Structure 1
Amino acid sequence: MSTGPNRILDEFAKLMTDAAGAAQGMRREVETAFRGQAERILNSMDIVQREEFEAMRDMAIKAREENAKLLARIEALETKLSGSDNAAGKAGSASRSPAKK
């Protein structure tokens, strides 16, 4: 065992080490409590989490792209139908002859 001033310094160093450990433990405890409280507040405010927002944004982008493709298909089909209606209308009117009385 050490005696004299060395013993006092050793005891003081031990005390400071214990105090630092206790302070770290308190810090972790306060952080945990703060995070829990902040999470409860955010949940009560109906705020969306970042992951949910990103997922919904990706779904919206995909839906817009699909809508654009479907719109192009509809326009192509309408063009095709209007083209075949015009051709059928011309062919039908040419085969009809005016009725004579």
Structure 2
Amino acid sequence: MEPPKFVDEIQKKMAELLESSPAKDIERNAKAAFSSMLGKMDLVTREEFDVQREVLARAREQLARLEARITELETALAQNKGAGKDQ
């Protein structure tokens, strides 16, 4: 069963009224202001963020390997110096 025609007409009139209301203008202006504000901020995309996170993770892994290697070399150097004193 279809709604009576006057119900459809009322719905159309309400939609037209809402489109031309000051509330709709306020919403448009608020969206424009918000978009402008976001445009002025120094933001990155999610993709850029994810790439940088991966780069940082690799750099941390490399740093950990280098720190371990330095510790290993320092230990070897200390042992060599100690062995040199015994002779």
Same fold (TM over 0.5): yes
Q: Which runs of 5+ in 2 are unaligned?
A: 1-30
Q: Does 1:48 align with 2:49?
A: no
Q: So what's the TM-score if we normalise by structure 2?
A: 0.57
1:28-59 deviation digits (Å, cap 9, x = unpaired)? xxxxxx7xx83x54331111111110011000
Q: Please say which structure displays the higher CA radius of gyration.
A: 1
Distance 1:71 1:81 in 2: 15
Higher relative contact order (CA 8 A, sep 6+): 2
TM-score (normalizing by structure 1): 0.49
Identity of aligned residues (%): 40
The count of aligned residue pairs is 56
How far residue 61 of structure 1 moved from its aligned partner, in angstroms, is: 0.3
1:89 and 1:51 map into 2 onto residues whose CA distance is 57
Q: CA deviation at 1:65?
A: 0.2
Is the partner of 1:51 in helix, strand or coil?
helix
The one-character-per-residue Cα deviations of 1:56-86 (angstroms, maximum 9, x if unpaired) are 1000000000000000100000000000000
Q: Which residue of 1 aligns with 2:71?
A: 75
What is the CA–CA distance in structure 1 between the aligned matches of 2:39 and 2:54, rounded to whole Å? Answer: 23
Unaligned runs of 5+ in 1: 1-33, 92-101
1:88 corresponds in structure 2 to 84
* Aligned counterpart, 2:62: 66
Q: RMSD across aligned C-alpha pairs, in angstroms?
A: 2.0
Moved over 3 A (4+): none
